[in-house]
């Protein structure tokens, strides 16, 4: 007479196959999730770049230009009084009448005043406010001087960066310019 039940060996074999499949699929899932975050952050960098271009096309200058005549890293409180990044975001979102008198919305925000990368960190923005066509290495973390009107970057997956150009924490940074 034949039994209709599984033996212990059969059950253990099925469980070990399931564990093996899970072990293979988890790293693949994590890689896909990381690539999705990178893609999302690249889209956000591009959205911010387009918003800056649109603002400049509307007003013929970049945000903060009338009051400052040196290159700035807007995330550096030493350059702009208050929180320069938040000021930039609300300016581009059209909610700051002082810096965007036409109240044009260049950047759409899900949460008012908040625009972060896929890891929940502020993007970094450096602006060429002295009009020389380049941004000095002192304002850009990890890449020397860049010929551009503005540059935008994310600290990436490790959420760290360094002002030293060859620091390994800069290797996963996502940026709006290429070398």
pTM, rounded to two decimals: 0.82
Domain borders along the chain are 8-130
Q: Does 124 or 82 have the greater pLDDT score?
A: 124
Q: What tens digit of pLDDT does each residue of 73-121 get?
A: 888 766 655 578 888 999 999 988 888 999 999 999 988 889 999 999 9
Taking the C-alpha atoms of residue 69 and residue 106, their distance in angstroms, rounded to an integer, is: 23
Coil, strand, or helix at residue 122? Answer: strand
Dihedrals phi, psi of 10, to nearest 5 degrees: -65, -45
pLDDT in tens, 2-51: 667 878 999 999 999 999 999 999 999 999 999 999 999 999 999 999 99
């Amino acid at each position: 007479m034949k039994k209709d039940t599984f033996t212990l060996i059969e059950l253990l074999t099925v469980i070990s196959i399931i564990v093996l499949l899970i072990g293979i699929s988890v790293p693949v899932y994590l890689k896909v999730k990381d690539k999705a975050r990178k893609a999302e952050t690249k889209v956000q960098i591009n959205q911010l770049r387009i918003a800056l271009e649109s603002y400049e096309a509307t007003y013929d200058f970049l945000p903060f230009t009338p009051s400052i005549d040196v290159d700035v890293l807007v995330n550096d409180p030493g350059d702009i009084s208050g929180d320069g990044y938040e000021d930039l975001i609300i300016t581009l979102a059209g909610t700051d009448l002082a810096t965007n008198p036409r109240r044009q919305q260049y950047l759409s925000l899900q949460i008012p005043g908040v625009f972060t990368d896929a890891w929940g960190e502020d993007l970094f923005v450096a602006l060429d406010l002295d009009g020389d066509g380049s941004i000095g290495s002192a304002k850009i973390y990890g890449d020397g001087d860049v010929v551009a009107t503005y540059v935008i970057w994310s600290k990436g997956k490790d959420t760290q960066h360094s002002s030293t150009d060859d620091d390994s924490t800069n290797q996963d940074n996502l940026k709006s310019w290429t070398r």
